[in-house]
Each structure stands twice: as structure tokens, then as C-alpha cells.
Structure 1
């Protein structure tokens, strides 16, 4: 029952970093994978209504360019609702470029659009282009973490920067606000 607050993809499979923050209790939250993988035909896909993007399954779809498909895991809870009229769309990446995207304290990812970027000569897949839908939310039990202006941002160091073979690890970090200027981090990482 967390929201994704930061996505970063460098190059290659295993180079994804994700930061998460709890917004609902486990008892009231239901998270499910989508019935089918994204079509990436430009239509809005992913989570809907008061659902939010609580996680993703990642598939590499092109070996030479390392294009990745993000398959959403959508969560919903009676404790969380989308603020009506608050959703906007934002580009996540450019073809064959590393990307990072983060959210402020009162937004979550909900839906997305993606397109196949193909080579103009031979029509081979170059990359998948992503546009994310972000929405403001309200949570009864876990109000958005808004850092005090006098506090530093909650930063969590997670695992090695590079794996033994020189590849980037997959990293998932969960953040939890403790005191006025403190947070607790739990980190998982894996080298592929």
C-alpha cells in the first residue's frame, strides 16, 4: 500500500531505481496486476478511478536498445481518494535516453500512455516512449509527507551504485516519516 514517488532508469536491464512511500494500511488495501500487459498504442492505460500505481512488473522487450515495458500493479483503498480534477500528464522519457522522474508529497502515479518508437528506415523497435498521469490524493491515515522547510529531504542510500559486472542494480526503497526531520528507509536491491 505504497505510492511510487521516484523512477530512474539508466541504461540496460536492471538499471531501475524506485522509491515508495506508504499511503494506506495493509488491511484496507487491495493491489492487483492488470489483466493484460500494456498495448503501448498511445491510449491511456494503467490504473483508474481512485486506484494508484503501487508497483510495476518490468520486462525487457528489445535486447539491443534495452527498451523496457512497465506493467502496472494497481492499488486501491477506502482510505485513499483522488482529488477530483487534479490529474495531469507528464513525459517520462525520450528515445534511448536515461530518465528519472519524481513526485511531490501530495501526488501519485495513476495511469500512463506509451508508444513504440521505431527506426524510420527498417521499422525496428528503438524504445518505448512513456507519458505518466499524476494525480493529487488524500489519505485518511497516512497524510502526504511534506518535509518541514527547515529539514533536509529524506534521502535513502540503497545498495551499491554498480554491480560487480559493471551493471546497475535494481533498487526498491520504502520511506517512512518518523519525526519532524527524520525518516526510516528499508532497501532492497538485486544485481542481475
Structure 2
């Protein structure tokens, strides 16, 4: 039975986190994964290329050698395992899982705050503080996404939870109550 991408991402990300914890390299591996994510953002097809069966193994190996030359130790070994199992196209999901576990371990949470207009730095900092307290974390880091359709207020998505404080949602509730 072939595993779906999300299950693979969770398993590999958890395995790397557990290994990094055992070797006391949580922060180092985390920083390396962030740099790897940047590579994948700059070259969005890299994972597909390294997992593509149409390419000759030596062609993929040349690309992989250039990629792993920037890493060493645990990170390099991890990338080799992922490559050997043709899972390089799932690497971003693995990074997401590691980042989630890292954040949990550090008492950090990251998410997205959707607002009708951009938040100022002060508003963003206040919201991050409130969300961290509300969800029981030491610190929250939120990126701001603008969506005028929510009319006003904020919708926060973090830790697989949605906190909808938008005016659009409140108007929707009022409309349903009036129709009853």
C-alpha cells in the first residue's frame, strides 16, 4: 500500500525531529531546513525533478550532489535517505512537520492572520501576543494575508485551528438567526 504524501511528510519529519532531539541538534537542523525550504521556493520543481522516473539516475545524482554539498552530518544523511526512496517531492511536507514539532517543543506557534486590510506592525504584535496566550503558547508568529471579503475583523489559522473573528462571519450568523 502506497502512503499518501501527508503521511510520508509526517513520518519523515517526525523521524528527523526525533533524531535531531537525540543528537541535541534541534536548532541546527531547524536552520538547515529553513535554508532548504528557501531552495525549494526558488526552484519549485526541484522535488519533482529529483523524483522523476523519466530522468536517468546519473542526471538526478548530479543535481542531488550539488544540493547536499551545502549540508553535512545528520542533514546530509537525511537528504540521502529521502532521495534514495524517491521522496524529494515530499520534502516540503517533511519540513512542515519538523517545523511544527520544533515549534511545539519551543512553545512557539505559527499561523496566518487574514484581515481585510494589512495589519500594522503594532497590531500584528498585539495579535500574536493574544493568540499565543489564547492557545497556550509562549510565542506566536503570524503572517498577514489580506482578503477584503472578510469585511473586517480577523481570521486566524494556527495549529490546525481556525479562530474566526471576522465581521463577515458575524453577519452570516445574524442572517441565519433572522431567517429562523
Q: Same fold (TM over 0.5)?
A: no
TM-score, with structure 2 as normaliser: 0.24
Which is helix-richer, 1 or 2?
2
Structure with the larger RCO, 1 or 2 (CA within 8 Å, 6+ apart): 1
| Larger CA Rg, structure 1 vs 2 | 2
Greater strand percent: which structure? Answer: 1
